[in-house]
Structure 1
Amino acid sequence: MKKSEWSDKELMELLKEMPKIEDYRHPRDIYQNLPIKRRKKMPWLLPGLATAAALLLFFILIPKLMDGNQFSLDHAKQESTQEAKVAKEDNDSSGTANGDPQKDQATIMKKAELSNEKIAATAIYDDAANGETVLTYWVPDDQAQNLVPVSTIVNNAEGKDWLTLFNENMANLRETEWRLTDYYPLKATLSYDKVGETVIVDVPADHPYAQGSTSEVIFINTLKNLVASNSTAKKLRFKTNGQLGLEAGNNFYEELDVSPVKNHAYFFYYPNGSEVPFLVPSPEPFKDIKSALQAMGASIETHQLHGITLGINDVSSSGQTLTISFNENSSMNNDQQTVWSFEAILLTAKEFGFEKVIVNNPPIDKLGPFDLTQEIKVPIAPNLRETK
């Protein structure tokens, strides 16, 4: 038989490079279990078998060990990535719940500020007017039941009088878009007599304001309201093609006195298909502010006017300042509907000559753009709308 080509030294070096295999038996026990005859007859076989077994184990175990190590690394990376992802999702869903409390509060306050910005006032106030001219147009609703005041802010860099601006801008109203009657521009020429403090209304012979009593009433009331809400004029004078007098419906008009619009309560009017109301004065005036505010809790069905959502418990006044108290059992939400209701109260206060409103023991401090802990000025005009 051919002698092994491996020397003892080479085998020892090879075995040192192989994975360590430990056998906890005593060498004496190992040799006692070997057949003596086989040891004597084949002493050369043991080193070869050990070498072959070691090589076999080497080629079998090394790939598995390498694969196992790679799997462990990949698995560790995967778990680390997954844990980071979960941590991020938890952080996103809970904000900075386990972070800096000041940052948490700042985030909450920022969201609250954004929410309040969305709750807007609909009337025009001093800060919005900013010295420019405010014009109020009175537009009939689509059923010709109410005259809806619609206000706009007009730049008046050239210093024009109110009636010139009124005439220039009335063609820009978007009544159809607002779901109101397409009423402007008026089929009339309006001019102003400063000496007599009189607005002169000159209509053509074929004017449409003589087509029935409804058309007549709307036209006359529209003129009265627009003059009273935009100027200090005291009279209306009517002409037809330059000649004194106006035939309208069943009446003939030459002059009418104009008095300020006052002592009305404001209600919600929702045009058909609209979720945003106009704030509209009641058809009839009230004797005092308390009765007006109490009436605002109910609707006026005949004119499709809806009551406000705030209940007034008590009112008192001092000079031109009105103090109101809400019902003790009434809740006040910081939402758009409540802002509209509060604006209706402010506009009603303006109708009775008040310039400021104080809320006694307000249920909440902030209501949209209003600070209920401070005196609040009444609006300049209702229902701000943009024109073309």
Structure 2
Amino acid sequence: MKLLFVAARWDPKNPDSGSGLDFNAYMALRDRVEEIEIVGPFKSSLTFPERVIRKVTGKLLKKRLIKFYPSYLKESNAIVQKAMDTYKPDVIFSKSSVPLVNVTLSAPLIYMCDSSVKWVTDNWPIFSKFGLKIMERWEKEVIVKAAHIITFSQANADVLENYYNIPSERITVHPVPSSLPHEEDDFKPKSINKNQPLHLLMVGKEFHRKGVDIAITATQLLNAQGIPTELRIVGQDGQSSENITFMGLYKKEDPEQLVQYINNYRWAHFFMFPSRFDAAGIVPSEAAGFGVPTITNAAGGITTTVKDKVSGIVLEKHSPGSEYARVIEHYRNHPDEYQALCKSTYVRYLAELNWNVLGDKLYSLMQELTHKK
């Protein structure tokens, strides 16, 4: 089987490029298919008029006009079309729609769509209305011609089915897997010692969207109630204070920094994920690989990643820090329930939240589409 892997902005050979999804998908497929060819990633080189438009609209709109400009689409599409015509793949895989908008497909396409433009527009619009309309039209071209779509949340699958009219049999929902390598000894049963501080961890690069303020509030409330609690915030710099430490960003490509990053999960009792919107959220799956349950809320597609009372606790959408503190206090006072939750979290990781499982599913799907065993 010959697979053409189409990348857009992110390098599928670099674990630190973007969210790491391209890297993990590539690694999983590379180990399964006979031949794999990468086309991309593509750098954005705006034309002079596009640079002027970006500068002017940025000042006027106070947000980005559009994610990709027409020159990017034109250049990437031409390169992908040439690669497809030359390589003659049996199947095509891409996590991005833009390089494929005007491409005439010569083989079945599997499109990994973590969040459709329509869904983002309705939930967390970070681009202009005009830009989102253009992006939606571009993406629809790819959604319609994809042989199969993999998505990481039921919420996005509902949009694909009900708004884009994609038949359910062409959609597979699978929770987004952990991006970390798995070792058999990653799970060690934990216990909460009331004489020792509770350890809370959160990972995220965006302060507001990821709800860092909510996690900080929960930590402060617990300490105010006489429950010693420490919070580590990984992925961004900030002003550390008593019980709250900003750990900065780690490079997973660096073996030493990867170990340091992983040790944060081994340290934690709970993983905090109070995101105001997330298409799926990779980091709760990372936490699950260490048996660390996630406390989150029903925003975006998180409820597919975190199964309530199985791999964590899912609160109501946009719950305040006091609700997170309440849940943590409950499990502190019920250690048997906490240990059971840790175990079921790890069991779910083994069953769904790793790339071995999704890699096998992708390969089986490719075999079905190409009729090759």
TM-score, normalised with respect to structure 1: 0.22
- Please state which structure has a larger fraction of its residues in helix: 2
Q: Which has more radius of gyration? A: 1
- Please state which structure has a larger fraction of its residues in strand: 1
TM-score, normalised with respect to structure 2: 0.23
